[in-house]
Amino acid sequence: MKSLLIDPRMAGVAGDMLLSALLDLTGDQECIPLLNKAVCELTHCTASIKAVHATSMGIGAVRMEIGLKGERFASAEDLARAFKNISNFMEMSPEVIDKGLEVISTLSEAESAVHKGHYHLHEVGSVDTVIDIAGVLWLLDKYDYMSGKISCLPVAVGNGIISMDHGELPAPAPATLEILCKRSIPVASSTEQFELATPTGVALLACIVDDFIKVYPTSTPLKIGKGAGNAELKVSPNIIRIIENISSCENNEQAVLLETLIDDASGEVLGHALNEMLDAGALDAYISSATGKKNRPAQLVSILCLPGEERRMSRKLMQHTGSIGVRAQVVNRFIAGRKIDKYQVEINGTKYPVRIKISTFDRHLISRKPEFDDLVEISKQTGLSPRIISEEVKRQCFLPIKDSK
């Protein structure tokens, strides 16, 4: 399974830089002509979209040159409508279109939080925002990166004063900072007196990245894509790097196990605490029966989280349980690789789409399981129970296993 590592520590991230880096990584020749045609036919803009070879401080990269003439979008609904039209023209899958709408929702929520009652799209209300989102997602989907793991290193946001519709403000821009805070995206320090992270770039990271990490993972890099921004920086090349790699420790990663013993909280309180921890980003959360001090019946609350998140998660665990102490230990965990395959099952002469989750570990098949939500949807349309439909899916879609590998 393909994995990507995004490295925005040097020059931050923008939507056009991500698009450029993916074009450089894949060598794709179809995306830009498709985008040009889609924008010209489906919006009130005329567009000239080009990917050109460029250098930044002597380092070669791909840079976007986008020329647009046309109106800006007044609302998030207009932005979403334009994206839907373009993505349908480019024949994106429903899942990828939903991901694009999630990016637009992330942008609009950030702008709304910043402007309160005077909400406008401002800097993200242009067609080039749609071009960046559609191009990035189309390439990720075409080259099967969406089904793999996408990791990202800390994001450089820059310094100094930037000019905006509201006047002059310090970097990062308010909407960018709102997304960074809401999604807990780690930031890298930079001495550049320039806006390095844009709202669109950060919103894309928030929605496509599976894991924000602080150091390079143990892996074998296969190839690199470099996307350049349009400005010349003073300290470093204005380039974002995207690396395709394979893990040297496949299916193995570290996590932090947090534990606390509770003997004075009700089941309702503990159940609510587990839900809150999962909503806050816990990898797993569960309760075990135990014996506490003075032989009192107690509950052992266990939370699994990512390294670097243990302090925040411990504070949240204390707040929701009343605990005054949390133990933490680093643990290794092995995870089966997962991918989703799409099939069709025929029931009473009608074909229905169904997704099947396939899990593997060390190239050995672990399980093949139909997505239960799809079984429920088919059940509503056929009147058959999800259990019966699951049996029929397995009969029609699963080939005999000849080798455990």
Q: How many other C-beta atoms are found inside a 10 Å radius of the C-beta of residue 341?
A: 12
The secondary structure element, H or E, covering residue 74 is none
369: CATH: 3.10.20.300
Tokens linked to 95: 């899942």
State the residue for tokens 């606390």: 260
Predicted confidence at residue 193, as pLDDT, reads: 86
CATH number of the domain to which 281 belongs: 3.30.70.1380
Q: Assess whether pLDDT exceeds 90 at residue 339.
A: no
Same domain, residue pair 153 and 199: yes
Quick one: 142 and 269 in the same domain?
no
Domain extent, residue 199, equals 3-247
User: Whole-prediction pTM value?
Assistant: 0.64
160 and 281 in a single domain? The answer is no
Query: In the prediction, which pLDDT does 404 show?
Result: 40
User: Tens digit of pLDDT for each residue in 84-103?
Assistant: 999 999 999 999 999 999 99
Domain count of the fold of the chain: 3
Asked, for residue 405, whether it belongs to a domain, the answer is: no
CA distance 194 to 12: 10
| pLDDT per residue as tens digits for the range 202-218 | 999 999 999 898 888 87
Answer whether residue 298 is part of any domain: yes
Whether 200 and 109 share a structural domain: yes
Q: In this structure, how many other beta carbons lie within 10 angstroms of the beta carbon of residue 317? A: 27
Q: Is 389 found in the same domain as 264?
A: no
Same domain, yes or no: 264 and 319: yes
Last-in-domain residue among 334, 361, 389:
334
CA 268 – CA 289 distance, rounded (Å): 15
- 30 and 157 share a domain? yes
87 and 121: one domain? Answer: yes
Domain assignment of residue 403, yes or no: no
Do 172 and 287 belong together in one domain? Answer: no
**Within a domain: residue 214?**
yes
Q: Which residue, 216, 247, 278, sits at the end of a domain?
A: 247
CB 123 within 8 A of CB 162: no
Which residues contact residue 211 at a Cβ distance below 8 angstroms, ignoring those fewer than 6 apart? Answer: 149, 150, 151, 152, 306
Question: Does residue 140 have a pLDDT over 80?
Answer: yes
Q: Of 334, 366, 382, which residue constitutes the final position of a domain?
A: 334
User: How far is it, in rounded angstroms, from Cα 110 to Cα 114?
Assistant: 6
Give pLDDT, residue 186: 93
Are 239 and 56 spatial neighbours (Cβ–Cβ below 8 Å)? yes
* pLDDT > 90 fraction of the chain, expressed in percent and rounded: 55
- On whether residue 55 sits in a domain, the answer given is yes
- Report how far residue 169's alpha carbon sits from residue 161's, in angstroms, rounded to the nearest whole number: 5
The pLDDT of residue 252: 67
Radius of gyration of the chain (CA): 24
pLDDT higher than 80, residue 405: no
Q: For residue 50, what is the enclosing H or E element?
A: strand 46-56
pLDDT tens digits along 349-390: 899 999 998 888 777 888 889 999 999 999 999 999 999 999
Percent residues over pLDDT 70 in the chain: 92
pLDDT at residue 115 greater than cutoff 80: no
Q: What are 379's two structure tokens?
A: 């059940």
Domain check: are 326 and 374 in the same one? no
